[in-house]
Structures are given as structure tokens and as C-alpha cells.
Amino acid sequence: MSARKNKKLKYLIRKVNRTYEEFDKKKFAKSLKAAGVSKEDTEDIVNEVYQGLEPLSSTTKIHQQTYRALKKISKVDAANYNIKRAIYKLGPTGYPFEVLCAEMFKAKGYETQVSVLKKGVNVLHEVDVVAERADGDIYCECKFHNRKYYKNDVKIPLYVHSRYLDIKEANPELKFQYALMSNTQFSEDAIAYANGVGLLLYSMNYPKKNTFCQLIQKYRIYPITALSTLRAREKKALLQRNIVVIKHLERKHLEKLGLSKNEINKVMREVKLLLKRD
């Protein structure tokens, strides 16, 4: 009996944190559904990837194969599926992630500022993002990690909440909530503590609805690292010029990178496609 016909054959997948798990078709299909892929296309891609599996593979290899397949079907679905990795590629510094977080609040109707100094009782605090709206302000701490499998433990919300208390005591007239945003995950203890003290959390795994990735899809605030028509060096050059989200990308920025007219047209077509509302 061939390996493909042996239903008991297991395919182990090496994750980014170097642990292993068995390939799960349902879990894989769920990730495609979350990216907006149609039921028919999901079935085709799941079967295609499954047929190409080796007894020992990796999440990175599966992601690459899936991303290539999705680009042929829909650049929007491909961008949605690739959001997590696109956010990781905003590094190595945390500033582009802070800009992305500010754009998230802008999409919700806030006026935003990045890197704002606020006086506390004991020390002066640099708040990563200050978002202001008539119904209340939000001060946000942005935690960017270059390691995909890094999990924010309870020490981080403890530290962020202490900053809130110091600023609040020094400015009792101000009405604001404090938020913590991360490009990785929060531990269960971190989530429990944040909920207990009223600290807002946004990450790859929290809240269950309106996660960071879902908000990017909803408001079309894709980072430039999500563009498939740009090379890695070009994305890096744009980030160095503080061009972080695709809605801020203009032809003149691409001209300065030395791209041809044809290349620029391809990039701008993709930008228009990703920004298009349903």
C-alpha cells in the first residue's frame, strides 16, 4: 500500500517555536476561511497542500506554498492570509508598528499622535500612541517582538498599568483608558490581569473577535509589507522613509526607489485592489 493510501500516515509539522504537531486539515481550512477564502478555493488549496506534504514539514513551508497558491486566485485573500507575517516584517524597530497601531485608531475615528510625553507623579512617560475622541481618549503601549513565538506574560500588563496609574494620578482631569497592543500573543495570566484592571488588549490571539489581524482586514489598513508586488529591499526602503501603510504609498515614493513605470503600475494596482471596499 502506498504512503498516500495509508490513512494512518501522520504528517508532523514543525512550528516556529520548534515544537511539533500533527497536520490538521480542519485547522488549516479554518485559517483560510479567516482570510476570506471561498469554500471552493479552500477545499482546492487544502487538497493541494496536503498532497504535497512530506512526513516532516514546517509551518513556514506550508505558508509559502499556500501564499503562492492564493496569489494566483486573489491578492486580497493572499494579503489577508499573510497579515501576521507582514506585521513581523515591520521590524526590527518598533516604530512602524506604533504607526500601524495609530492608523488602527484613526480608522475608528480618533485623532492620533505617536510618541507623546505625558507627565506622571514620579516620572515622565513616553506614550507610544495617544488616540483622542469625543467619547474618551486611549493611551496605547505598543509591544513589538521580532520573535514570532514570543508570548507577553503578566509582567507586561503589570508594567503598563503602573504607567497608567502614575499618569492618572498626576492628571486627574484627564479621561482616558490605557491599551496594550502586541504583534504576538498574550499569556492567560496577562489576559486575566488586564481584564481585572480594565486594560484594553489587542494582539494576534485576543480578543477572540476583532483581533489585530481582523481589524486590519476590516479597516483596510494593510502594512506595505503585505504587498506582493514589492521586493523585500523596496519595502525596507519605504519603511525607512516612514511609509508604513499602503494608503500612504504614492507613485512618487516608488519613483524614488528606481522602479520602472510598469513595476509602479503593478504596485499601485495592488494597492487599489486591497483598499477597495466590498
- pLDDT digit string (tens) for 142-194? 999 987 778 899 999 999 999 999 999 999 999 999 999 999 999 999 999 99
E strands, 62-160, in order: 111-119, 124-132, 137-143, 151-152
Pick the CATH number of 95-219 from 3.40.605.10, 2.40.420.20, 3.40.1350.10, 3.20.20.140: 3.40.1350.10
Query: Among 202, 194, 187, which residue's Cα sits nearest to residue 158?
Result: 194
- The pLDDT score that the predictor gives to residue 278 is 65
Q: What pLDDT, on a 0 to 100 scale, did the predictor assign at position 1?
A: 37
Domain borders along the chain are 3-77, 95-219, 223-275
Supply the pTM of this predicted model: 0.88
Residue (of 103, 93, 97, 65) closest to 81 by Cα position: 65
Specify the range with the lowest mean pLDDT, choosing from 2-6, 199-203, 258-262: 2-6
Q: Give the Cα separation of 209 and 192 in Å (integer).
A: 17
**106's grid cell:** 484613526
CB 246 within 8 A of CB 226: yes
In terms of pLDDT, which residue wins out, 171 or 206? 171
Above pLDDT 70, what percent of the chain? 96
pLDDT recorded at residue 9:
58
